[in-house]
Structure 1
């Protein structure tokens, strides 16, 4: 698993605040969307789904300034929604993969995804691993601060589990 950069837990990001460039809270994270495809070892982040009141909007990766202290900061003032990308080339991580059974390495057995691990570098965010442990699933039931920890020793490299992203 690639470790150059900051490791971020998907479970720790869900329901966290999103701020615009002026520092105003504009919504909460509902899900992260990655671009999928055959041959992509570590899929890049394509955008995020943000809830504001009762509406969920898509913000592309180009509109994200960064992830800092488990909050997402945008490059724009206010929340400027974009149309959702076509469903054939993207995967909503929490909706499509979290708590789902996926094949492990050789495909002879499956395991339930407890958490997904992303790596944040200066210029991109990529899906790099999946934590399949029961310990992590139980940690998600605890207080929100506990959801943010990443245990790289329990995470499988996403390149070995990439089959679920290929539709």
Structure 2
């Protein structure tokens, strides 16, 4: 069973790369504009995503494809990028433990129940490597928020992509 914490206190070829990063920057700016997040949130999101690209050495084109809805490339570096992003936001430990209190602190009371239910649905039920937990969570959360079932609900509070 994958651990989910209620509180964070419970947890004692270079040219191609640069060109891919530039493409990622352009797409990230477009995506964040479309999702109507604040300029400050947009800048922080962009900064963290780019830090994770550098830290994990993921191919930026893989990230772009992921953001475009292509989830078939389950390469370990892309999964590690997902874990890095969740770490940067404080939503997940490096060991793959989800910090529910941190995530829910961003959600208004009116939406807490539905967001928490979606988070619980998206966390893997079996123990896995941390980067696989992060991958499955982000994939599920992203796909769920795009589904018709949730089209009228607001789940952008944990917007990471």
Q: Normalising by the residue count of structure 1, what TM-score does the alignment of the two structures yield? A: 0.29
Q: Normalising by the residue count of structure 2, what TM-score does the alignment of the two structures yield? A: 0.30
- The structure with the greater share of residues assigned to helix is 2
- The structure with the greater share of residues assigned to strand is 1
